[in-house]
Structure 1
Amino acid sequence: MLLSQIHEPNDLKRFSVEQLTPLAAEIRQFLIEKLSVTGGHLAPNLGVVELTIALHYCYNSPRDKFIFDVGHQAYVHKILTGRMDRFDTLRKYKGLCGFVKRCESEHDVWEAGHSSTSLSAAMGMALARDLKGEDNKVIAIIGDGALTGGMAFEALNHIGHEQKDLMVILNDNEMSIAPNVGAMHNYLTKIRSDKNYLRAKDEVEQLLKKIPAIGGKLAKTAERLKDSLKYMMVSGVLFEELGFTYLGPVDGHDLSGLIEAFTQANNVSGPVLVHVLTTKGKGYTPAEEDSHKWHGISTPYKIESGQLLKAVGNPTYTDVFGQTLIELAEQDERIVAVTPAMPGGSGLVKFGERFPGRMIDVGIAEQHAATMCAALAMEGMKPVYAVYSTFMQRAYDQIVHDICRHNANVMFAIDRAGFVGADGETHQGVYDIAFMRHIPNIVLMMPKDENEMRHMMKTALEYNDGPIAYRYPRINVPGVPLDEELVPIPIGTWEKVREGDQVTIIAVGPMVQVAEEAAEMLKRDGVNAGVVNARFLKPLDESMLLSLASASTKLIVLEEASQAGSLGSAVLEFYAEQGIVDADVSLMGIPDRFIEHGSIKEQLQEVGLTAEAVVQRIQQYRAEHQFTFGKKVKPS
């Protein structure tokens, strides 16, 4: 086997070009077999096998910088840089990361879990190289889907202006996670379909070389002729006008063609863009036929059939959101669903089938989506911005400036709120409470179960006084009975789930169930613990907070969110504003550090957000303060 001979990129250079094709087949088989056990981003990596091999064959990592946009297509890069023996731990707790990770290898020079960052990073590295007087190559690998992100256009503009030596590889597979949308997608489609462009361009360039250099005038005429051809043949005009030398399209599964294209690129000064056409899921029929499904799989599968081995269980919160939104949209024709390239992940596929004119996928453009929702709301529509918590971070300014400042009646459906498991630190949805609750005009909610979530969606629909958000986690729902009639929940009201007179746990979302489990454990130890469902994160239930303070009970605020700035901080701020200095409040949230990949259960255990940890905190408090909750222990 050729693959077993590779322990670092230099080992690859001992192979002939002819040997690289069977090596690619071995890598594909390795990925298919390993991911059938661990799960992961299969289709994106199957599509870049030859491209990654050609890069490492032609260049010298880590001296030459490979910058992968997003990073979920870097499994082949990991294999070729000495991490093949760790693939059994892929995306597992303390194991190999599913994205590029700087602490894993010197070959990982840039890490990202969000798209459209690679070109800006490449420009920064090219500038640093030149300032230091070095001469290494800087190569950014970006997908056509990521080019819908505004940050990528900003970087293209700056790179073309500065004319730094760097290469952009456009990995064009017509997909991001879902099929791409937008003008850039349509433009690239024209290039893909123009099969005569490259041959015609080469022929004219050869013709121009044969014209004797009789003088500057003829040379200028020849250059104008070349430019005219460029416009006539369409391909690459946009990139060339931005200041890039455009090469392509190149078959991304033809190793000889890729190596030849990179050789040509090396002879170009200034920025060059190599347009590479690939097939997402290449080499595995199920992934080729449904690259959306196989973009990222979280469960094992049968290699022969492609059948996912999912455990039978309750639907997810995302499923409940998607179905409920259809029900509400049937009653209110003003509802419009908006998603930034995540119709499947956000549970909107069936909504789009039922209401194709009211389902808007803007591509990877979270900022544009937010401002567009503000305008939709101002014109009397009821936009529902369905977005992952981690991706909503990208639209922070638009939320402040265009939605909340205008008090626009936008509904936020914030998916993946809390820990997300194997995708790890770049995707954890643990900061949105902290960065949204301080913005004026917004209402924030989180349900304890799927029934309450449905009522929250009705609450949001009937709320007309500004932006309102409901956030929900990436887990299966508890499976509680569903009410037939949906009614609004009074804004800013909490719910006493369990009465208690010694200690009260104020919890939100899935932590309400954890709090109830802890209360049962404490009851067996003679402690009567109350549980409050703090379903409104903003506004707070001030009357309940005042009553809890006057009852002189110990308060624990329990949340699966950043401890800095989230619900616990809001509670402490409220008591400070009221001049209540003797409220006994302890916070249990996510500490001030990034939590890496693993299962959600392992992540919760790592930060102490379990029923056992809550009980331990309360028992420790009782021992330290010599209290039996309400009665001081007499010294013996």
Structure 2
Amino acid sequence: MNKHEDFLLNKISGPQDLKKLSIAEMEQLATEIRTLILEKDAYEGGHLGPDLGIVEATIAYHYVFNAPKDKIVWDVSHQTYPHKMLTGRAKAWLDPDHYEDVTPYTNPDESPYDYYSIGHTSTSIALASGMAKARDLLGGHENIMALIGDGSMTGGLAFEGLNNAAIEQHNLVVVVNDNQWSIDKNVGGLVTALQKLRDSNGEAAENPFKAMGFDYRYVADGNDLQAMINAFKAVKDVDHPILLHINTLKGKGYKPAIQDEEAHHWVSPFNLATDQPTAAASSAPTPNSIALDVIKEQINAGQKIMAINAAIPGVFDLDHFKQEFPANYTDVGIAEQESVAFAAGFAKEGGIPVLMENSTFLQRAFDQLSHDVAANDLPVVMLVAGGRISNGSKTHLGIFDQVMVANLPNWLYLAPTTLKEEQAMLEWAIKQRRHPVAIKLPANVPVSDDQEVATDYSELTYRINPGQKVAILALGDFYGLGKQVATALNATLVNPVSANILDQAALDKLAANHEVIVTLEDNTLDGGFGQKVASYLGQKDVKVLNYGQKRVYTDQTPVEQIYQDNHLTVKQITADIKNIL
């Protein structure tokens, strides 16, 4: 039910309606948009600070330009809630019954005003440059704009994009949304350059954008609607590359988001009156707490460890760690390639890097995982979070980490089934100095169980609980699922320990003593663990069933539905096995 029927936003079906409004009415609209962002995010979570800070710039853009003919590429696109409201999708914020109608990132399937599915950082300038080149070749004249910021300028592709955008022959506008933050506080030398430009009202002699050849413009208050309208009018239809630097306030309109930008970049459901999460905090051990306890113990024992993070300390609960061990912590910004190469360099000089990556962002660093780490066989330790089937946007899926890491030479990819096993794996990985080791952080596993926990993973040995006829090889988080299937069928249950190194002796015995071997993995099937097992057992007289996710992009699909579609329920798996038997 729409409780905001009196809101002006109800009358905005698209940018054409926005163009009829006065400045005062657009300022009222900005207030309404912020109210709706806060209400929806409080109810179901989402990106908060970035969207609150970009409201005036978004209104001004759609007031001045003629979308969708004129095109804007939103970097990361986690700051596009206002854009979606102004382009025919306001009901997804006005009416709680329609909160799920839209995805949290730009999505061409939703609207002609969105040009890409984008959820990773630093890509906008390169994309816009390609669009501008195509426009010129095809004889078009529309305005092409890239809006980048909120930390995206720390990624290497942003600089590659700038390098090429600066020499475009015709219209191309790069808007740098400078809110002084990314997910965490911005890092690196660019911070200094932007600070000098802000302090000098854009007049500093040390201007990296002018040095590259851009026509540089500055807006001191990017949250001033009239100033943004004037700035956009001034760059519209200009026939050369322009860089428009706007200074905005992340979290504008919500005091807690201004006071603590990191905690309010993305929020879980919370109470608007108190700013407190609605879910109760737990003191139970977590994969993060186990990992950090090991790292702290090893540092205190004299190990020269560097915890390396690419701008996502909250994912690994690193806030207290980085205060307690500042000399053992490096945040490279939103730059996964840099984080992996940095770790390789640290390892080469004899240090012990513990690299902390999110599965969905790790794909940005694939070349470094292969070229800099694996090809040089450097003992980098890597913790991978979020590597599982989830209900996220198709830009934020965690089902490709095994395919990336487990198929590279020299990498060992371990998958713990309990927190005790995670602890043992990390302790061993830090002490061994022979090869790169990755550990898939579990999500839904017990602290311990009745399995024996190894202390040395140099030689992989499967952990086997014997049963009859059927052997269930259940990797990592899916060990619990495997246990249910094994119980239902009185089957053998196997903890494979690793996503890529096979215990061939164990597989030979399992194939000789069982009719069916089943693999379960919380990742994509193609190129995954199950296919490695099936390939090895191809000439054996045993049937092999592989279970995981099909090679498709899901988009905000409920996990239960994904499981159902991929035959990943206990009922479906046991039925499949019984049919074969």
TM-score (norm 2): 0.94
TM-aligned CA deviation for residue 607 of structure 1: 2.8
TM-aligned CA deviation for residue 411 of structure 1: 0.5
Q: Would you say the 8 A contact 1:455–1:489 is kept in 2?
A: no
Counterpart of 2:330 in 1: which secondary structure?
strand
Partner amino acid for 1:590?
A: Q
Structure 1 residues 109 and 409, CA gap change in structure 2 (3 angstroms): same
- Structure 2 residue aligned with 1:368: 338
Partner amino acid for 1:71?
A: S
Measure the CA separation in 2 of the matches of 1:305 and 1:9: 35
1:617 corresponds to 2:576: yes
- Structure 1 residue aligned with 2:225: 255
1:504 corresponds to 2:471: yes
Measure the CA separation in 1 of the matches of 2:537 and 2:237: 67
Measure the CA separation in 2 of the matches of 1:420 and 1:91: 23
Q: Deviations over 1:374-411 (max 9, x none)?
A: 12111111101111112111111111111111110101
Measure the CA separation in 1 of the matches of 2:551 and 2:99: 19
1:533 corresponds to 2:503: no
Q: Would you say the 8 A contact 2:219–2:231 is kept in 1?
A: no
- Structure 2 residue aligned with 1:424: 393
Partner amino acid for 1:404?
A: A
How many pairs does the alignment contain?
573
Q: Would you say the 8 A contact 2:36–2:94 is kept in 1?
A: no
- Structure 1 residue aligned with 2:355: 385
Measure the CA separation in 2 of the matches of 1:75 and 1:366: 26
Measure the CA separation in 2 of the matches of 1:294 and 1:456: 33
- Structure 2 residue aligned with 1:412: 382
Q: Would you say the 8 A contact 2:389–2:549 is kept in 1?
A: no
Structure 1 residues 96 and 616, CA gap change in structure 2 (3 angstroms): farther
TM-aligned CA deviation for residue 529 of structure 1: 1.1
TM-aligned CA deviation for residue 318 of structure 1: 2.8
TM-aligned CA deviation for residue 599 of structure 1: 4.6
More displaced stretch, 84-93 vs 249-258: 84-93
Measure the CA separation in 2 of the matches of 1:500 and 1:164: 70
TM-aligned CA deviation for residue 590 of structure 1: 0.7
Partner amino acid for 2:373?
A: I
TM-aligned CA deviation for residue 109 of structure 1: 0.8
TM-aligned CA deviation for residue 372 of structure 1: 1.7
- Which of 134, 142, 146 is equivalent to 2:140? 134
- Which of 40, 46, 53 is equivalent to 1:47? 53
Partner amino acid for 1:542?
A: Q
- Structure 2 residue aligned with 1:169: 175
Q: Deviations over 1:5-30 (max 9, x none)?
A: 11111110110122211110111111
- Structure 2 residue aligned with 1:214: none
Map of 1:327-342 to 2, 5 A cutoff?
A: 327-342=297-312
1:557 corresponds to 2:527: no
Measure the CA separation in 2 of the matches of 1:619 and 1:586: 12
Measure the CA separation in 2 of the matches of 1:75 and 1:65: 17
Q: Would you say the 8 A contact 1:318–1:347 is kept in 2?
A: yes
Which has the greater radius of gyration? Answer: 1
- Structure 1 residue aligned with 2:403: 434
TM-aligned CA deviation for residue 431 of structure 1: 1.2
1:544 corresponds to 2:506: yes
Map of 1:343-354 to 2, 5 A cutoff?
A: 343-354=313-324
Measure the CA separation in 2 of the matches of 1:306 and 1:335: 36
Structure 1 residues 48 and 467, CA gap change in structure 2 (3 angstroms): same
Map of 1:64-213 to 2, 5 A cutoff?
A: 64-87=70-93, 95-143=101-149, 145-195=151-201, 197=202
Structure 1: gaps of 5 or more residues = 199-232, 623-636
- Structure 1 residue aligned with 2:485: 518
Q: Deviations over 1:444-464 (max 9, x none)?
A: 101112111111101211222
TM-aligned CA deviation for residue 153 of structure 1: 0.6
CA RMSD of aligned residues (A): 2.2
Partner amino acid for 1:46?
A: L
TM-aligned CA deviation for residue 111 of structure 1: 2.0
Partner amino acid for 2:482?
A: A
Counterpart of 1:515 in 2: which secondary structure?
helix
TM-aligned CA deviation for residue 603 of structure 1: 3.6
Counterpart of 1:338 in 2: which secondary structure?
strand
Q: Would you say the 8 A contact 1:192–1:249 is kept in 2?
A: no
Q: Would you say the 8 A contact 1:318–1:415 is kept in 2?
A: no
Structure 1 residues 189 and 599, CA gap change in structure 2 (3 angstroms): farther
Structure 1 residues 284 and 510, CA gap change in structure 2 (3 angstroms): same
Measure the CA separation in 2 of the matches of 1:316 and 1:5: 47
- Structure 2 residue aligned with 1:60: 66
1:445 corresponds to 2:407: no
- Which of 363, 372, 375 is equivalent to 1:402? 372
TM-aligned CA deviation for residue 305 of structure 1: 1.3
- Structure 1 residue aligned with 2:429: 460
1:572 corresponds to 2:539: no
Q: Would you say the 8 A contact 1:69–1:117 is kept in 2?
A: yes
Structure 1 residues 37 and 605, CA gap change in structure 2 (3 angstroms): farther
TM-aligned CA deviation for residue 566 of structure 1: 0.6
TM-aligned CA deviation for residue 480 of structure 1: 3.8
Q: Would you say the 8 A contact 2:219–2:227 is kept in 1?
A: no
Structure 1 residues 123 and 555, CA gap change in structure 2 (3 angstroms): same
More displaced stretch, 98-107 vs 607-616: 607-616
Counterpart of 1:555 in 2: which secondary structure?
strand
Structure 1 residues 552 and 89, CA gap change in structure 2 (3 angstroms): farther
TM-aligned CA deviation for residue 268 of structure 1: 3.4
Measure the CA separation in 2 of the matches of 1:482 and 1:178: 40
- Which of 285, 289, 299 is equivalent to 2:259? 289
TM-aligned CA deviation for residue 507 of structure 1: 0.8
Q: Would you say the 8 A contact 2:40–2:99 is kept in 1?
A: no
More displaced stretch, 612-621 vs 561-570: 612-621
- Which of 4, 17, 22 is equivalent to 2:10? 4
TM-aligned CA deviation for residue 613 of structure 1: 2.5
1:495 corresponds to 2:463: yes
Partner amino acid for 1:133?
A: G
- Structure 1 residue aligned with 2:3: none
Measure the CA separation in 2 of the matches of 1:365 and 1:612: 43
Q: Deviations over 1:443-500 (max 9, x none)?
A: 1101112111111101211222111110124x355344899x994445312211x321
1:238 corresponds to 2:242: no
Measure the CA separation in 1 of the matches of 2:316 and 2:81: 25
- Structure 2 residue aligned with 1:471: 440
- Structure 2 residue aligned with 1:596: 555
Structure 1 residues 532 and 390, CA gap change in structure 2 (3 angstroms): same
Partner amino acid for 1:99?
A: Y
- Structure 2 residue aligned with 1:626: none
Identity between Structure 1 and Structure 2 (%): 35
Q: Deviations over 1:62-112 (max 9, x none)?
A: 111111001111011111111121248999997421111110111111221
1:310 corresponds to 2:279: yes
TM-score (norm 1): 0.86
Q: Would you say the 8 A contact 1:386–1:412 is kept in 2?
A: yes
